[in-house]
């Protein structure tokens, strides 16, 4: 998006300030609950080992952290880095019974962790919102251990023309739904524009390779409505 670094940071923060109370409800409503299946698909592809360490960035209310924890029988140490305090507070309350999940207020571009700390790094529907995607990817690479895995779940480019047309028409309704549920259409106007202007699957793949990741590949979900990208620090 053609938005100055600081302007985008403020814009995204204001979006989540408005939607945090209804965030989970709106995600379920807009995606008909499918986003939960897509997040599970990412963790299933990851196939994480027990007693390892995950960093989940732009954690939102902690959906990915919860799925990861349950996949590994709650044996793993998980850190959620979320840049919006309101979202972080919702996530902490929602997952308060998960003693292996830790919360940190931090942006993806400046993580408060040492080099070579984590076995896995995930970012789910967050990389589209960062102010500097190259800095985000460099930070991800820095905090991963050698042999660590980066996984990103994000809206992408739809391959099927008919589905793309249907999805485009449906997307036009989302701001109106947001106004009814949340009281403002602005966050969802931003959502639609940010999806439209985000990188294609292959463009994101190349960005990951440019920023140090190896064996980069992606899998489309629902004909490319979303895509999972995977890369390794070698």
pLDDT tens digits along 72-94 = 999 999 999 999 999 999 999 99
Report the alpha-carbon distance of residue 138 to residue 211 in Å, rounded: 6
Q: What is the pLDDT of residues 179-231, one digit of tens each?
A: 998 888 888 898 899 999 999 999 999 999 999 999 999 999 999 999 999 99
CATH number at residue 166: 3.40.50.150
pLDDT number for residue 5? 47
The domain of 42 spans 5-232
CB atoms within 10 A of CB 71: 16
In the chain, how many domains are there? Answer: 1
Beta bridge partners of 77: 53
DSSP letters of 167-219? HHHHHTTHHHHHHHHTS-SHHHHHHHHHHHHSPPHHHHHHHHHHTT-EEEEEE
Sign of CA dihedral 37, 153, 156, 9: positive
- What is the Cα–Cα distance from 166 to 54, expressed in whole angstroms? 36
pTM: 0.90
Model pLDDT for residues 157-181, shown as the tens digit of each residue: 999 999 999 999 989 998 898 899 8
């Amino acid at each position: 998006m053609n938005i100055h670094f600081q302007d985008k940071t403020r814009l995204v923060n204001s979006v989540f300030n408005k939607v945090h109370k209804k965030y989970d409800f709106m995600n379920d409503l807009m995606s008909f609950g499918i986003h939960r299946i897509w997040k599970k698909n990412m963790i299933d592809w990851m196939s994480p080992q027990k007693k390892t360490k995950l960093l989940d960035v732009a954690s939102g209310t902690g959906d990915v952290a919860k799925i990861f924890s349950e996949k590994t029988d709650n044996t793993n140490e998980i850190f959620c880095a979320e840049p919006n305090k309101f979202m972080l507070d919702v996530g902490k309350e929602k997952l308060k019974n998960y003693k292996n999940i830790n919360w940190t207020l931090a942006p993806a571009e400046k993580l408060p962790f040492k080099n070579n700390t984590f076995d896995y790094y995930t970012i789910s529907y967050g990389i589209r919102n960062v102010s500097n995607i190259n800095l985000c990817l460099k930070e991800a690479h820095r905090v991963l251990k050698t042999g660590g895995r980066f996984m990103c779940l994000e809206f992408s480019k739809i391959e099927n023309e008919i589905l793309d047309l249907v999805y485009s028409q449906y997307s036009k309704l989302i701001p109106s739904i947001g106004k009814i549920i949340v009281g403002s259409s602005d966050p969802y106007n931003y959502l639609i524009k940010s999806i439209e202007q985000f990188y294609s699957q292959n463009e994101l793949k190349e960005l990951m390779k440019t920023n140090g990741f190896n064996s980069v590949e992606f899998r489309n979900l629902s004909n490319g409505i979303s895509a999972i990208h995977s890369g390794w620090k070698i």
